[in-house]
Structure 1
Amino acid sequence: MVFLHRQYRLSMFVLFLTIECIISLQLLDLVVPSYVPLGTRAQLSCRWALGPADILYSVKWYKDGREFFRHVPRDLESFRKFQLPGVDVEVSDESGSNLTLTPAVPATEGRYRCEVSGEGPLFPTVSDHADLNVIVLPDYGPIITGFYPRYRLGERVRVTCTSGPSRPETTLAWYINGKPAPSSAITHFDEKYEDLQVTKMVLDFIVTEEYFRSNGFKVKCLATLPPIYWRSNEESAVREKKVYDKFIRIKEERGSKADRVLSKAIICNSLWQNVVIVSILCFKLC
């Protein structure tokens, strides 16, 4: 009976310790950037909390299941780095919970996990993970080609927006006078450039009266790689008044004909004066 009582007390004590460790050790927050531009430094953060009776045993970081950094306070070498392609810790704080990696390369992409453990005998452990993607931003664009400064009513507009090579594919969108262009007027193209993607989008529509505002209209191309890249380019055109231009040309042509008639009249008048002078001289000599 005494043995059973002691066994019961021991079981309850172990259960109490287990519950206390589970409740006390908490992983509060894990920050891993979803997108990191190629060549920039990613910052990782793992925020945790220990209870009053807890002692930190270790903080470990993994990528795709492989450990690349650890902090064990009681070890002589409390901070250790492990070689892993594409991953190297450049800066760490004293707790090992905030890391700055060296400039990102394609191999930096992957799943990152932070694992925090308490001291024995139970070594309670909590962890969480998040994915990091390395992206390549376009080095130019968006560029609009095929657009003219003047358009007539009923004329066809066919313009192309091109964004530079990127990874993943850049998202393009067309706007006419600040409003999204109709999907029926848009054609999308992709081109491979090594391991990157060149994105093109054609806008094709007929100019109608609704597009002209203050004798003109605007088109805009927006290129995005959410949530870190937003670029746009805009072009504007004025309305070409065909009747007005024709009137100007007719006026200029009429002006040219009048000038020619006037020149002929001056020449004829000059010749007539010469004839009169010659006739007078002949009359006097005779």
Structure 2
Amino acid sequence: MRIATFNINGIRAAQRRGFEDWLRARSPDVVALQEVRAPASAIPDGVFGEHHLTYEEGTVPGRNGVAVLTRKEPEAVRSWSGTALLRHPGDDHVEAIDLEAAPLARGLKEFADQGRYVEVDLADAPITVASLYLPKGGLPEHLQKPGRMREAPDGGARYQRKIRFLDAFARQLARSRRTARAAGREFLLMGDLNIAHTRHDVRNWRRSNQAEGFLPEEREWFSSIVSPRTLVDVVRRHHSDVDGPYSWWSWMGQSFANDVGWRIDYHLATPALARASISAGTDRDPAPDRRISDHAPVVVDYDLDGLP
């Protein structure tokens, strides 16, 4: 089974840049999408081909939005807001449906309507798949220096919001993983986590120690959610102790051409599912002027024959 995660940075822009060609050529069975950034009514017709769409668009206009594409209609769907759009191939309806309310971990309520998380139980494999778009965050107040930042200093507000999210999401993630296990399912979290975990995940890691996404406390949090017994970084399992493969490059300058990137898009799988992975990497675009997004798809092939 081929499974991918892809921050598309806006479905309408991604379509113009070749998303449909990538989807046909790579033919993934499951795709987790982040930053769809469109109301349901504005999603281009047919852009997802023969896949079923599960979409949590959120309530922030033009921002966020997470989805899961599947070959077969999911057995179950859960979102933090309690609603999601479920669309079969060829359908054009735009109304989200109410889902069975799922309990939220303490601290997640403020993020529930932002279109940051959706999960589905696959119908053709014993796996629960989740798509996550984690807040980018910012710098703590003591690291903010006016004139040296792309954004105006905010007193650490964006940083504090991300820390609140991380604290709450760790509790929710443990709950989702245990729920999947109790149902006899493996669990796979995919998405843009906006954190580079180790020095192998940032090209210029020495200069990034005081950059959002590579702060020590962010990396410590990441270490707390992965382990050989809970969740495994699948791509790193196949590319141990090497730089990259990166999944994000700035649009600015020569970052892409010089491969000055970050690895911030992940497959985090329960151990048995991680062991079932047979190949893993990123679909890096062939040239700067042929980029679909500022992110690259992260694609993993799994041999599921050995799963219960």
**Is TM (by shorter chain) over 0.5?**
no
- RCO higher in structure (CA 8 A, sep ≥6): 2
Give the alignment's TM-score, normalised by structure 1.
Answer: 0.24
More strand by share: 1
